[in-house]
A and B are shown apart, each in its own frame.
Chain A
Amino acid sequence: MNRLEVDFLGVRFPNPVVTASGTFNFGREYAHLYPLRRLGAVTTKGVSPRPIAGAPTPRITETPMGMLNAIGLENKGVDAYVADELPWLKAQGARVIVNVFGDEAADFAHVARKVGPYADLIEVNLSCPNVHGGRLPFAHDPAAAAEVVRRVKGATDRPVLAKLSPNGPILPVAEALEAAGVDGFSLINTLLGMRMDLERKRPVLGNRQGGLSGPAVKPVAVRLVYELYRHTDRPILGMGGIASAEDALEFALAGARLVAVGTATFGDPYAPVKVIEGLERELEARGGRWVDWVGAAHTPD
């Protein structure tokens, strides 16, 4: 009996543990450590229509029990990945979640159309700036975010997840996305933060501000997953500071059907596999299945 097996939007995952976008590139760097098909799925680095060079350095800095990053969405553009990394990743037998973004709704759809053949799921990064919306992130503008989802849904037959930002109210956005036909949600993206350099008397990061991730954000993420679960019947991919099986089970109780390991991979490249093995042990000891834990904190006493 596989206690970890889970169906998510019609895709069967041997376990619920996936990598978080931007922390695993396209998997090639880690493929000599363990077979990528051992993971629930690989979520790719964000893919845009054209190459993006990214932000000035420093792009990362450590913070108490976390880190800030401002990579600036560096990527080689969709055509490079469709030519090379995505076919390679599928050939590894991995399930693939492709993270897509762009300057405007049509860009998202363009990328989703091209990566669709390699994707089990599409994850839409709504935290990037909307160039036609005063560079306000799509995630902070329910109408703009809904337009992105409508266009992406029209461009691919793959299930579409919307990645939500914790830097604004999530429920109004989630409601608008449901009306636009979104299939599921992933959350949380990073929390905006800043760290100062006392010598230079300037922010440490080249981009000044960055996204906070790691164990420091976990309670925020668990609460938001819990909150969203109460308001939606669509499945949730939960993430934010997950580094152990216990962390993953917290997210399951809150309502996450899949979970992502992100920042923990920087501290330990085997972290996603260790979370899977930890879940196997935990559920063996406790005698349950993963799916029994999903949303279990919401059942009446």
Chain B
Amino acid sequence: MPASPELAPPRPRWDDHAATIVASEPLGPHQRLVLAMPTLEARFGPGQFLNLSVPGHVLRRPLAPSRHEGTEVELIVTPFGPGTRDLVRLPVGTRLQALAPLGNSFPISSGDAALVGAGAGAAPLAWLAERLLRAGRTVHVFHGAPSAEDRTLVQTLYERLGLEVRYFSEDGSLGRRGYPTEGLAELLAGGAVATVYSVGPFALMRAAAQLAIAHGRPGYVSLDVHMACGVGACLSCAVQTAAGQKHACVDGPVFEVQEVVW
């Protein structure tokens, strides 16, 4: 029987919160940052994001946490441009500002869940996995990377939850050679009744979405579109949907796979 997502709770209003870096450690090519955000009373839902200041940069960087415990918010940052490169170099103790909480979150499936991610897309998926496990769901995880480089990331985010991750690498250096959608295809072809969740490169999310649709399963993706304000004012993060143009920051970043014009 198809999963029916719980109705999302009303969103607390965002504000600009102080965020102090209390831990920063490399996880292969990624960096794990922990922010202390004592004034943030609202809890992040998995998929929601914050818009984080980076000293010396005009724009903030939108990032979806991998965990929110007490006053601490955990982020995975992959340096790929000037802003993220500067962000991962900041020392512990650096005071930043973060608009939070922003956007919508993944609904919790009523049955099994299949998580398909790559790179730092594992961050919101791991936070989702924690919530799914707490709700008593069975969680299948498929993670992809170019090589074995994401091993420590996966260990840190998923294995602490006691989850077994099926790993796919393009060069075959860890897990199976290939893409994580191959694992999803086998799971669904085997008759698994699972809700599909995917965060990663656009092509990966599209492939995961097509599999969910083909098997008549509900599916959700988190669309990563360049944004400036993060709150619906600048209209940068346009997303084409069956219901017309929407904006990832306020209408998403989580979208139902049938809704997105792929």
Q: Please list the residues of chain A having a beta carbon within 8 angstroms of any beta carbon in chain B.
A: 22-25, 29-30, 32-33, 45, 53-54, 57-62, 65-67, 69, 71, 74, 214-215, 263, 265-270
Contacts and interface: CB of A to CB of B under 8 A. Distances in A.
Among B81, B229, B232, B245, find the residue whose CB has the most chain A CB atoms closer than 10 A. B229
A280 B64 CA distance: 38
Interface in B4-18: 13, 15-16
Given A25-B233, A29-B233, A267-B53, A67 B59 contact: yes
Contacts of B233: 23-25, 29-30, 265
B99 A266 contact: no
11 contacts: A29-B229, A45-B235, A54-B235, A54-B238, A59-B235, A65-B58, A71-B235, A267-B57, A267-B58, A268-B97, A269-B16
B232 A266 contact: no
Interface residues of B, number: 27
Contacts of A32: 13
A268 B233 CA distance: 13
A60 B226 contact: yes
Nearest to B97: A268
Nearest to A27: B233
B191 interface: no
A60 B236 CA distance: 6
Contact of B58 (A24, A30, A59, A266): A266
B57 A62 contact: yes
Given A62-B59, A269-B16, A22 B225 contact: no
Contacts of A33: 15-16
B94 to A, nearest CB: 16
Nearest to B232: A29
A101 to B, nearest CB: 15
B242 interface: no
B226 A57 contact: yes
Interface in B36-64: 53, 57-60
Given A65-B58, A266-B60, A60 B228 contact: yes
B162 interface: no
A219 to B, nearest CB: 16
B203 interface: no
Among A29, A69, A214, find the residue whose CB has the most chain B CB atoms closer than 10 A. A29
A263 B59 CA distance: 8
Contacts of B190: none
A66 B236 contact: no
B227 interface: yes
8 nearest CB pairs, A to B: A58-B226, A25-B233, A60-B236, A266-B228, A59-B236, A29-B233, A214-B58, A62-B59
A268 B57 CA distance: 11
A67 B57 CA distance: 10
A177 B261 CA distance: 45
B245 A53 contact: yes
B49 to A, nearest CB: 15
Contacts of A59: 226, 235-238
Given A62-B57, A267-B58, A268-B97, A71 B234 contact: yes
B201 interface: no
Nearest to B57: A62
A57 B90 CA distance: 30
A230 to B, nearest CB: 30
Given A54-B235, A215-B58, A265-B229, 12 more contacts: A22-B234, A23-B233, A25-B234, A30-B233, A57-B226, A62-B58, A66-B58, A67-B58, A69-B228, A71-B235, A266-B60, A269-B99
Contacts of A30: 231, 233
Contact of B228 (A54, A65, A67, A268): A67
A66 B82 CA distance: 13
B83 interface: yes
Contacts of A215: 58
B234 A69 contact: yes
A181 to B, nearest CB: 32
Interface in B181-210: none
A67 B232 CA distance: 17
Interface string B65-86: 0000000000000000111000
Contacts of A267: 53, 57-60
A62 B81 CA distance: 10
Among A23, A58, A263, A266, find the residue whose CB has the most chain B CB atoms closer than 10 A. A266
Nearest to B249: A29
Given A67-B59, A214-B58, A266 B234 contact: yes
A266 B226 CA distance: 13
Contacts of A265: 229, 233
Contacts of B57: 62, 267
Interface string B116-145: 000000000000000000000000000000
A200 to B, nearest CB: 13
